[in-house]
Amino acid sequence: MKKNKTSKYIIIVGCGGLGSSIAGQLSAAGNNVVVVDRDREAFKKLPPEFSGFTIMTEVIGKSALVDSKIEQAHILIASTDDDNTNIMIAQIAKMIYHVPKVIARVFEPSRMRVYEDLDIETISPTVLAASVVSDSILNEGDVES
């Protein structure tokens, strides 16, 4: 797919199931995507259509963000498997590098308020799953016994 004039420079920190899926979709849509992870094996999860770059380094620390050219980023997505890591990366991106859009995955719903107070968007698999399950049950209609 060709890059279009509206393509964005996006950094994804964490290449697990969520990070690799997002990277594939955003790359296929013509965005410039860089994925950062500390585990070389994690990059094997990226789909074949991924055309971006990968950086293997410790995700916490200034070098990971500098190496990923964070000063050019339009969007940063913190999608590691650790809430504390995600909040730290998100805060640095938002407050120090002034990345316009920062999204962080958060597993523990009670922590979402902290992110919101920092003007960081959140995605919570726990909240999303609970909503889908509840909707499935509540919208099922009357079931005869």
Domains of the chain, start order: 9-138 (3.40.50.720)
| Closest C-alpha to 81, from 127, 42, 128 | 42
What integer is the mean pLDDT of 101-129?
A: 88
pLDDT digit string (tens) for 69-111? 999 999 999 999 999 999 999 999 999 999 999 999 999 988 8
pLDDT digit string (tens) for 17-67? 999 999 999 999 999 999 999 999 999 999 998 999 999 998 887 788 888
| Closest C-alpha to 11, from 86, 87, 70 | 70
Range from 8-17, 24-33, 59-68, 123-132 carrying the lowest mean pLDDT: 59-68
Residue 4 has pLDDT above 60, yes or no: no
**Residue 99 contacts by C-beta under 8 Å, 6 or more apart in sequence?**
11, 70, 73, 74, 75, 76, 93
Residue 9 is predicted with a pLDDT of 98
Between 125 and 31, the higher pLDDT residue: 31
Q: Scan for tokens 């399950």, then name that residue.
A: 133
Cβ 39 vs Cβ 54: under 8 Å = no
Judge if pTM exceeds 0.75: yes
